[in-house]
Chain A
Amino acid sequence: MTEKPAVSVDGLSLKYRLYKERNDALKTALLRGRRAVYEDFWALDDVSFEVPTGSTFGLIGNNGAGKSTLLKVLSRILYPDKGSFTANGRMAALLEVGSGFHPELSGRENIFLNGSILGMSRKEITRKFDEIVDFSGVSKFIDQPVKNYSSGMYVRLGFSVAINVDPDILVVDEVLSVGDAAFKAKCANKFVDFKKAGKTVILVTHSMTSLQSMCDQAAWINQGKLVTVGDAKTVIADYKKSVDESK
């Protein structure tokens, strides 16, 4: 039985326009009569790969290589200029924790707010509410406004909501590094459970150790282009080699 890939990316390209000067002001547009002068910069250039269902898929590459841009395209925040991707299953993105938290509202109210921003229904949130609060470990302060939370508590609550969205495909950007050691261990366990349940994770991280321990598949991106894709160990080894060589 050949399973459909969780995500197949087909020739994704995305360009940023680099303006010679800021074009926010009406003035520039009016003075020039037409559009301001710009240069195209291809942050993603014809990237194609497939993410097998049930795999943990890592994206690696130097800063500015286009990893985060790729994640944002997969999260439907940015729209590609060329190419497309298809996802089989419900997809959720975790690029930031605590999105849309209102500081004056209580933890409880913010769970519902944040959950619905991440695409959960009210019923779903109510059902998972206890689990979310338990996982975050802030149950004592759940009716306090979140502006009184410590930054660790704030992030933990945000992460707990996000991890309970329970998608088929989870897209994660660098957020694994939240909370104290105990919370990190909890998160790592959650990802293991996730994998056991046959779900797919796509993640970007600069920590080679967490990449090596978590990922079975990886793609290496450099200057918007795909270098290699495949078994995580090989890709990571290739990437490390090139980093060592350029030193």
Chain B
Amino acid sequence: MKYLSELFASRELLSNLVMREVKGKYRRTVFGQLWSLINPLATMLVYTVVFSFIFRARPSVGDPSGMNIYPLWLMCGLLPWMFFNRVVTGGLNSITSNAGLIKKVYFPRMNLPFAVTGSTGYTWLNEMALLSVVLMVFGAFVLPWLPLVVLFMLLLALFATGLGMALAILTVYFRDAQHFTAIAIQMWMYLTPIIYPINLVEEAADKHGQIVLDLYRLNPMERFVSVFRQLMYDNRWPDLADSLWCVGWAVGMFVFGFLIFKRFEKKLAVRL
């Protein structure tokens, strides 16, 4: 309890660390915060050209929204994924890149990975807000689902932060972890139906047996991406099983990361 109350007492530090990341990142750039929107737009453009026009990925039409616009379908999955990727990678590096601070000042160390989540979350919030506006312009009825979208954003943040914290500790002991993670995350993205629709996997499962789909759906990110699409693109209640799967993984992963971090943080200053 003492640990938690100390962590809670340092929330001003957390907000200042978040501010440091947010303000420091785009200083001296002409476009400033706009860059955080230009990046996903450029990615959207590339994936749309490659996967919609060249590979002809055809996601199923939004039900009941009737949406059938690949770039928007893509973004409903890609923005959560990009957030996840940045939080895990940033969280992983949060300890090693702040080694100087950890060796010279005491403060609750968990604020470092939390600050990564906070600053990345700020960018993500802007991206999701813009996406919602665009979806509404194209006729999706997103507004009533926004509270649920925010709830699942928080769950994904918990999941990503937990994983980032555990990996941050691993990286202090084994620097290989950061290179390994970079590769793993790249593969993970292609194992998640972000740029292609899941019905391609379902077709493969019909041919090669149900086991393919069952294994594929063990991936918690598949559930998160599905839920975000159900809410934003289809405009319907998220599937109950998917939602429970998300909640379970989010809470489980966060508790796991939290405990690992708490257990090893006292040794960080010696090991860095």
State which residues 112-131 of A face B: CB under 8 Å: 112-113, 116-119, 121-122
> Is the CB of B174 closer than 8 A to any CB of chain A?
yes
Which residues of chain A are near B10, meaning CB under 8 Å? 116
> Is the CB of B56 closer than 8 A to any CB of chain A?
no
> Is the CB of A72 closer than 8 A to any CB of chain B?
yes
Q: Is the CB of A113 within 8 A of B20?
A: yes
> Is the CB of B240 closer than 8 A to any CB of chain A?
no
A24 closest partner in B (C-beta) = B175
Q: On chain A, which size bracket covers the interface?
A: 20 to 34
> Is the CB of A52 closer than 8 A to any CB of chain B?
no
Cβ of B47 to closest chain A Cβ, rounded Å? 32
A123 closest partner in B (C-beta) = B12
> Is the CB of A96 closer than 8 A to any CB of chain B?
yes
Q: Is the CB of B20 within 8 A of A105?
A: yes
Q: Is the CB of B270 within 8 A of A78?
A: yes
Q: Is the CB of B176 within 8 A of A76?
A: no
> Is the CB of B16 closer than 8 A to any CB of chain A?
yes
Q: Is the CB of A72 within 8 A of B269?
A: yes
Partner of B174, one of A25, A78, A117, A118: A25
Known: A24-B174, A25-B174, A26-B174. A102 touches B20 (CB 8 A): yes
Most buried by B among A25, A29, A79: A79
Stretch in contact with the other chain, from B84-92, B97-105, B207-215: B97-105
Q: Is the CB of A77 within 8 A of B269?
A: yes
Q: Is the CB of A93 within 8 A of B176?
A: no
Stretch in contact with the other chain, from B22-30, B68-76, B150-158, B182-190: B22-30
Which residues of chain A are near B175, meaning CB under 8 Å? 24-25
> Is the CB of A174 closer than 8 A to any CB of chain B?
no
Q: Is the CB of A77 within 8 A of B27?
A: no
Q: Is the CB of B20 within 8 A of A93?
A: no
Known: A25-B175, A26-B176. A104 touches B28 (CB 8 A): yes
Q: Is the CB of A79 within 8 A of B266?
A: yes
> Is the CB of A152 closer than 8 A to any CB of chain B?
no
> Is the CB of B106 closer than 8 A to any CB of chain A?
yes
Cβ of B121 to closest chain A Cβ, rounded Å? 19
Q: How far does the alpha carbon of A41 sit from the alpha carbon of B173 in the complex, in Å?
A: 19
Partner of A117, one of B13, B23, B28, B173: B13
Which residues of chain A are near B266, meaning CB under 8 Å? 79
Cβ of A146 to closest chain B Cβ, rounded Å? 11
Which residues of chain B are near A119, meaning CB under 8 Å? 13, 107
State which residues 3-21 of B face A: CB under 8 Å: 10, 12-13, 16-17, 19-20
Cβ of A109 to closest chain B Cβ, rounded Å? 7
> Is the CB of A100 closer than 8 A to any CB of chain B?
yes
Which residues of chain B are near A93, meaning CB under 8 Å? 105-106
Binary per-residue interface labels of chain A (57-93) against chain B in the complex, 1 for a CB within 8 Å, 0 otherwise: 0000000000000001001111100000000000001
Q: How far does the alpha carbon of A29 sit from the alpha carbon of B173 in the complex, in Å?
A: 10
Partner of B105, one of A25, A27, A29, A99: A99
Q: How far does the alpha carbon of A100 sit from the alpha carbon of B16 in the complex, in Å?
A: 11
> Is the CB of A38 closer than 8 A to any CB of chain B?
no
> Is the CB of A145 closer than 8 A to any CB of chain B?
yes
Partner of B104, one of A25, A26, A99, A102: A99
- Taking beta carbons and an 8 Å cutoff, which residues of A are in contact with B? 16, 23-27, 29, 72, 75-79, 93, 95-96, 99-100, 102, 104-105, 109, 112-113, 116-119, 121-122, 145
